[in-house]
Amino acid sequence: MSDKINVLIPEETVDAKIKELGEKISEDYKGKEVHLICILKGGVFFACELAKRITVPVSLDFMQVSSYGNATTSSGIVRIKKDLDDSMEGKEVLIVEDIIDSGRTLHYLIPVLKQRNPASIRLCALLSKPDRREAEVNIDYLGFEIPDEFVVGYGLDYAQKYRNLPFIGVVEPEEDNGEAQSEGKGETIE
Ligand code: IMP
Ligand code: MG
């Protein structure tokens, strides 16, 4: 059982965009330090590549959240599975996320994190699917707007697979995978 994956954004294009985002962030945070909060697991590949392109001092922390939903959609009920290790008080926080889809996860999370008194809080996302938005989220730094298609690669998974692809691809499940997909109902997505 294998899925066909079509390239949506090639590796070189993703890498060039991350370099561009890193330069912009370095410029905007000149004279400051930036505290990156990577949202696990999907944000991890992007956060590492981005961190390498930022020239101001960088610290890193990780948070894992899950939304209760089926295999491909979020319900908006967000649970913190792994909280941050360090305090964010007084820090210039930049949240790094793989994709903003319905927007529900970050719409919930940003106000929660604001209560922890960072000096500032901004959001950087590699991808956004504006057509899917249900909850408002302001994305300060965005890689690419993409159409309403389920994508994998660069940290994004389909049933925990394909995170390691170095490009953004669209999964075309085989016909007999339809059953496997509906069995995903009620699982948590990250
Ligand atoms: P939200 O709908 O904006 O709350 O996004 C919830 C989470 O769903 C994202 O952080 C991703 O981990 C996941 N997600 C949304 N769209 C995709 C996709 O196309 N591929 C893989 N994961 C996705
Ligand atoms: Mg995610």
For the stretch 113-144, pLDDT in tens is 999 999 999 999 999 999 999 999 999 999 99
Place 70 in a pLDDT band, splitting at 50, 70 and 90.
low
- Of the residues 3, 85, 101, 148, which is catalytic? 101
Q: What's the sign of the alpha-carbon dihedral 103, 105, 110, 112?
A: positive
Name beta bridge partners: 100.
128
- Closest listed ligand to the CA of 156: 1
- Closest listed ligand to the CA of 148: 1
**Helices and strands, counts by H and E, the chain:** 4, 10
Q: What pLDDT sits at residue 190?
A: 55
Closest CA to 37 of 78, 74, 105, 91: 91
Q: What pLDDT sits at residue 72?
A: 58
- Residue 98 bears catalytic tag: no
Q: What pLDDT sits at residue 172?
A: 85
- CB under 6 Å to ligand 1: residues? 42, 67, 74, 97-105, 150-152, 156-157, 189-190
Instruction: From the CA of 105, give the closest atom in ligand 1.
Output: 4
User: Is residue 111 predicted with pLDDT exceeding 90?
Assistant: yes
Q: Coil, helix or strand for 67? A: strand
For the stretch 14-44, pLDDT in tens is 999 999 999 999 999 999 999 999 999 999 9
